[in-house]
A and B are shown apart, each in its own frame.
Chain A
Amino acid sequence: MVNSKSTVFIVDDDEASSRSLRWLVESVDLNAEVFRSAAEFIDGYDPTMPGCLVLDVRMPGMSGLELQQHLRERGIELPIIFVTGHGDIPMAVRAVKAGAVDFFEKPFKQQELLDLIHKAIARDAERRYTKSRQAEAIKRLDPLTPREREVLQLIAAGNLNKVVAAKLGLSARTVEAHRASIMKKLEAKCASDLIRIAIELNIGLDEQ
């Protein structure tokens, strides 16, 4: 699941901390990139780059928590692992509530951090995969009319034509016609093929 291009983005103002984290992360063949401040990260990060963020909570200028909020407001869903030198529980709670993967207090067990980094990267890759499938589905569903989408959704849910017709207040014949049109637009060869495609695209339908 781990994308070979995944990168661990390290944001820490302490030089020894960031350098040593990079050394650790690279020892398990992960890419690492170091930023010395939140602002530097905002400038240098391309949201299409997969991976995860290892973030120091307290930094001069924009703090770790502020960066987390900044990214969320911009829809950037890079998983965040916080590290801190302070045993600051309320801050940890806030960070995790705001969606952080976890919160590590220095000094931590390297294996635990690496495990979590792997998990976060996997989570990011999965999310990106799902996202791209969704985007693809949305694109494929684009030619369908709104009524056809309704019909497809009900078919994907396992309903028979009759039930679909009753639910939408249509005649069975009309449903048949919609179904034929949908099969043509989605290039489905047979009924079972259509159901497979419908299930695959289900996420895309839900999105709409």
Chain B
Amino acid sequence: MLNQSSLSSALTVFFLGCLIASIVRYLKVKREKTRLLKELENQRSANRALKRQLAENESRLRVIIESEPELVLLQDADGKVLEMNPAGLSIAGAEIPEEIVGRSIFSIVAPEFRGSYKTLSKAVFRGEARILEFRVVGLRESVHWLEMHAFPIRNVSNCIMALTGIARDITQRKHAEEAAKRHQIELAHVTRLTTMGEMASGIAHELNQPLSAISNFADGSLRRIRRNSARQEGLIEALEQICHQADRAGHIIRHMRNFARKRDANWTQVDINTVVQEVFRFLEPEARQNCIVIRLELASEQPLVSGDFIELEQVMVNLVRNAMESIIDSTQEGREICINTTADMPKIVEVSVADNGPGVPPEVAKQLFDPFYTSKASGMGMGLSISRSIIEAHEGRLWLSQTKEDSGARFVFTLPAISAM
């Protein structure tokens, strides 16, 4: 009995024990589940918040970009426009985004800038940031100047996905710059005319030499023919001289006409030595008449510069004529002007015009480059002022380099060389 009852009580205890254990486990699991569910719920709500946050951020960014007055552009490596903000659409002349989005950016880049834009695009897709000024001809023919900052956008795996371009409309600035350039060109022209006026008597003399030689040769030939004393070889030589002297006169006139002509800027690759030689040919006779020797010291290998030949020539004419005027009155023996060109420094071409006259007094040197400042009775006082603005428009510098007062004046200008010869 005892055994039976003890067995049953043992079983009871056992079952009870099991039951309790199960209950405990159940409770544990349930608690765990609740915790997990809660955690999940927390996470979900965090995600929701994050999404909301992201959406908010995105819409905020979008609002910023959309309302941005500058052009904002996303573009792929082939130049296909992925996105463009309304300011961009307006510059591009697009009425709806589809007119430009999905199409090539090159449909609005002005032809002369397509090359440099391609270079920029390639650089960005190599991972570089670049800046470019270029002209845009919109879909409806409106023209804008843009200054664009372009940089790459990368995805999570650090691959470049697109080019981002942010561009400012600099049309007004460009127009102002162009107007300033036009004024400078006009002023340069007017001062060239003034210079020509000052040189008129010298030029007349220069023309007189070949003209009187021509008429002497012609008259001498006629007299021989009329007197039947003409020898054919002699006549041929005289006629050749007539042709040669006519060419000489023609060259002077052509040169004068080019120098005086009103013209647009014409930038080419210029060899500064050629400019110096042309000016030498132009001014040497006048110098010789005044017993001045012009010595040329030209660099044998000279990189080219980018510029307007006539304007650079004008600067040289101004400097050499100033030098001549400063030594004409000097009683010094051996009046001399030395024109030197060097390309010692990399990427810089340097030209100097030095005379052995009395030099520039310090009080004059201070105002030398001011417009309308002149130490001469005749002359407008624009020579050095316009020369400096021409050189500065060529991204160079012009200054007076004078060590001692008695060693004469030396004017120097530098111009950036076109990279590598």
* B205 touching A16, Cβ below 8 Å: no
* B220 touching A16, Cβ below 8 Å: no
Residues of B176-218 contacting chain A, CB below 8 A: 201, 204-206, 208-217
Interfacial chain B residues near A13, Cβ < 8 Å: 288
In the complex, A21→B220 CA distance in Å? 9
Residues of A1-54 contacting chain B, CB below 8 A: 13-14, 16-17, 19-21, 23-29
Judge if B224 is at the interface, Cβ distance under 8 Å. Answer: yes
Interfacial chain A residues near B291, Cβ < 8 Å: 60-61, 63
* B238 touching A106, Cβ below 8 Å: no
Q: Assign chain A's interface to a size class.
A: 20 to 34
Judge if B248 is at the interface, Cβ distance under 8 Å. Answer: yes
Interface string of A152-167 (1 = CB under 8 A from B): 0000000000000000
Interface string of B216-253 (1 = CB under 8 A from A): 11011101100101000010001001001100100000
Question: Smallest Cβ distance from A202 to chain B, in angstroms?
Answer: 42
* B209 touching A28, Cβ below 8 Å: no
Contact partner, B219, options A19, A24, A60, Cβ 8 Å = A24
In the complex, A177→B402 CA distance in Å? 87
In the complex, A58→B202 CA distance in Å? 12
Question: Smallest Cβ distance from A47 to chain B, in angstroms?
Answer: 27
In the complex, A204→B394 CA distance in Å? 79
Residue with the greatest number of chain B CB neighbours at <10 A, chosen from A13, A17, A29, A108 = A17
- Quick one: closest A residue to B211, CB to CB? A107
* B238 touching A14, Cβ below 8 Å: no
* B216 touching A23, Cβ below 8 Å: yes
Judge if A143 is at the interface, Cβ distance under 8 Å. Answer: no
Contact partner, B288, options A25, A60, A110, Cβ 8 Å = A60
* B245 touching A28, Cβ below 8 Å: no
Question: Smallest Cβ distance from A37 to chain B, in angstroms?
Answer: 12
* B288 touching A106, Cβ below 8 Å: no
Judge if A131 is at the interface, Cβ distance under 8 Å. Answer: no
In the complex, A20→B209 CA distance in Å? 10
Interfacial chain B residues near A86, Cβ < 8 Å: 201, 205, 289
Interface string of B77-117 (1 = CB under 8 A from A): 00000000000000000000000000000000000000000
In the complex, A63→B227 CA distance in Å? 36
* B241 touching A107, Cβ below 8 Å: no
Question: Smallest Cβ distance from A38 to chain B, in angstroms?
Answer: 12
* B241 touching A28, Cβ below 8 Å: no
Contact partner, A106, options B208, B219, B221, B234, Cβ 8 Å = B208
Question: Smallest Cβ distance from A12 to chain B, in angstroms?
Answer: 10
Residues of B348-401 contacting chain A, CB below 8 A: none
Interfacial chain B residues near A23, Cβ < 8 Å: 216-217, 220-221, 234, 238, 241
* B223 touching A16, Cβ below 8 Å: no
Question: Smallest Cβ distance from A7 to chain B, in angstroms?
Answer: 17
- Quick one: closest A residue to B219, CB to CB? A110
In the complex, A73→B368 CA distance in Å? 46
Residue pairs across A and B with Cβ atoms less than 8 A apart, 13 shown, are A16-B248, A17-B212, A20-B214, A20-B217, A23-B217, A24-B217, A27-B221, A58-B289, A60-B293, A86-B289, A107-B211, A110-B215, A110-B220
Closest 4 CB pairs of A and B: A20-B216, A107-B212, A85-B205, A27-B223
Since A61-B291, A85-B212, A106-B211 are in contact, a sample of 11 more A-B pairs with Cβ atoms closer than 8 Å, ordered by chain A residue number, is A20-B216, A20-B245, A23-B220, A23-B241, A27-B219, A27-B229, A60-B293, A63-B291, A85-B208, A86-B201, A106-B208
